[in-house]
Structure 1
């Protein structure tokens, strides 16, 4: 009786490198052009990095020179969500002057609020069919916000910070003179408006329109009740 070969018999060792080749000693050829490109890009990056460092050093030297000359570098930091001006009362204004500066800043914000409200109101009137001229002039008045900042608030801020006589003088000229001239004109306009109202009301009462209006109101009330 014939038996099959032993399945557990050791098989002949098979040498995977019997063909004479060895993976350990194999090499990968890298094109010379690619290596040159990599070195070129590396040099370009190093040159850009060196240029950035040089510029940073130049800016730092300029800032140090300005600081040594007494020039304050103003970085934009207000409002926090969209910095457009430099404003730091707590750290730059002397403590005994901070309250005064805060009040002045409040008046600037109040002016800005009034101008914004004026634009919104005239816009609503224009949408409802009003005169476009009023809306246009509200935009012109809106320019008073940056004008007020540059003409009197910033000079006052710098005067409080550095005790500068020139900035104090500019503040008094733009705020005390121009502001009170504008306030005087508005006061004159208010007086004239009050006079017009009084004259119209006097005519209204003297012509019997007031009594007629009362009768008309009473008649309307009776009709509504019936």
Structure 2
């Protein structure tokens, strides 16, 4: 008894699994197990089957879990896609830089031209329109240089307005010829011929001064007052163009009514007047288009009615004649008040 209750000697190396009862049990293959014997099975009448040792199956291979990150990396595209995007951005920046450099060169060129012109003439500018010959006793009245005075963004519009004014003058001259041809066939149309001469002599210079020069100065100095002056006068001019196209008898315009009536009198004269009516129609249509075009550009320049009023007041106060007239009126009113008080 003391053999099993006393502590073993430290030098005595005893293995508990080498006990005879353990080794005998492990070596006995006839011992039944619960996995192979079912006592509640009615079909099993004999003794339980002997124990059969099963070969241990190989453990399933360990699966390495996929590596996960807190946030999935963003797909920035392939290297070629990124390279193309960078190239497009670089090309756009280079294009903008070239445009800015071109505008800077244009401004420098205009400044050099103005400086050279001022040094050569001794003044800021010299009138060059209308281009009259040197022997003419009347000299030019205006200075005009679209490439120098007008910004590059508005040069095309101002040039079209200048050519449109020239077209208007040519149409009025053609109207005079049409009325003259009608007068040669029918002498009772002398009033129409006289009015055609009057319209040509009146509208040609007045249209240049009243609506072309305001639009020229408006784009030259971004003047709100000149914009409003142009809109008012040119709208009236477009209405006159429509009346010219209609061709009311006795008004001196070879429009559609006069042209269709002239066909009954003389076919050749009627054809000439029909061509003149077509020219008047194109003139009226072009006038409407250019009015809308200038109005759209006017909205982009930042002009306003308040600026127009301020420019008008400044211009009136800076005018020497207006100041002298105002001073004279103030002096006369003061003298009248003093005399009345006495």
TM-score for both structures, normalised by structure 2: 0.32
Q: Which has the higher contact order (CA 8 A, sep 6+)?
A: 2
TM-score for both structures, normalised by structure 1: 0.47
